[in-house]
Structure 1
Amino acid sequence: MPHLVILYSGNLDRDLDMTAVCRGLADAMNSVEDDDGKPVFPIGGTRGRDSPAPHFGGSDGGRAGPAAGESGDYGFMYFNLRMARGRSEATQQRVGEVVSAAARELLAPLKQARRVGLTFQIDVGAEVYDAKFGNLHDLFQKGAR
């Protein structure tokens, strides 16, 4: 943890470098420190990924855009950051502010180019089952950070 999942309308692919967006948001997550000045998240656990939706619908179906002299080709992005419990509310808020600020910066050119709905939520729910069995953490526990 944390895992940032980005769901977005596939029509944004032509306007975005999603690899750069995912990398920028992962870097933002890795930059957040807790109240003691320690990283909030283990670097080996930070993940960001996207899933384009080739089929989507929303808003008014594109009617208001042309009426306002704009395109009716709207887009959307939904960011869901899932992190494990155990972090203070202040730390959770700090994570939200840092990641949100990074998203605003990374997506500023997109917002200038077109209409897009953007939503960012943090989920800190109860885990029913949580298994970690990869080997990525081993690399970072050997002194590299």
Structure 2
Amino acid sequence: MPHCVILYTPNLDTRTDVGALCRKLADTMLTIHDEAGKQVFPTGGTRVLAYPAAHYAVADGKGDYAFMYLNVRMAGGRSEAVKKNAGDRLLAVVKEHVAPIFDQQPVGITLQIDESPGQVYDGKHSSLHPLFNK
């Protein structure tokens, strides 16, 4: 599963490098560990995907408003402290990245973390994980 999906208004593309943000988020995700020192987001499964909206409406439409929604998924069983740490760290990366445009253009940012505690089916096929599980 993608661990982070970003949906955003395409007017951000002219103001910031969303691809660079994806890399920064992925790099940060790789450094997040739980209380036992285990990586929260396994290296081979860490993915950040960003999609500009083909169509959008933000607020009253009277300004050049921008919006970015980030949905982070993680496996169930993590403590509240681990989830909060992950959210705080990832939101800090986004805030730093958009800081240069934040005062020039109204921008809304939402980051949510979902866990998958009761999956009915979770099929996987990957040649990525073995690269990092040696």
Establish whether TM, by shorter chain, passes 0.5. Answer: yes
Q: Does 1:100 align with 2:94?
A: no
- The answer as to whether partners of 1:75 and 1:116 remain within 8 angstroms in 2 is yes
Distance 1:132 1:86 in 2: 20
- The answer as to whether partners of 2:35 and 2:82 remain within 8 angstroms in 1 is yes
- The answer as to whether partners of 2:4 and 2:73 remain within 8 angstroms in 1 is yes
Distance 1:9 1:41 in 2: 27
Q: Secondary structure of 1:100's partner?
A: helix
Q: Does 1:59 align with 2:95?
A: no
- The answer as to whether partners of 1:45 and 1:137 remain within 8 angstroms in 2 is yes
The CA RMSD over aligned residues, in Å, is: 1.4
Structure of larger gyration radius: 1
How many positions carry a matched residue from both structures? Answer: 133
- The answer as to whether partners of 1:11 and 1:54 remain within 8 angstroms in 2 is no
Identity of aligned residues (%): 51
Tell me the equivalent position of 2:7: 7
Matches within 5 A, 1:1-145: 3-62=3-62, 72-125=63-116, 126-142=118-134
Runs of 4+ aligned residues of structure 1 deviating over 6 Å after TM superposition are none
Query: Offset at 1:38?
Result: 2.8
Give the partner amino acid of 1:4. C
TM-score, normalised on structure 1? 0.85
- The answer as to whether partners of 2:28 and 2:90 remain within 8 angstroms in 1 is yes
- CA offset digits 1:62-117 (Å, max 9, x no partner): 2xxxxxxxxx1111100000111121121111111111111111111121331111
- The answer as to whether partners of 1:2 and 1:41 remain within 8 angstroms in 2 is no
Distance 2:74 2:27 in 1: 16
Give the partner amino acid of 2:125. F
- CA offset digits 1:35-64 (Å, max 9, x no partner): 1233222111111010101310020112xx
Distance 1:83 1:131 in 2: 15
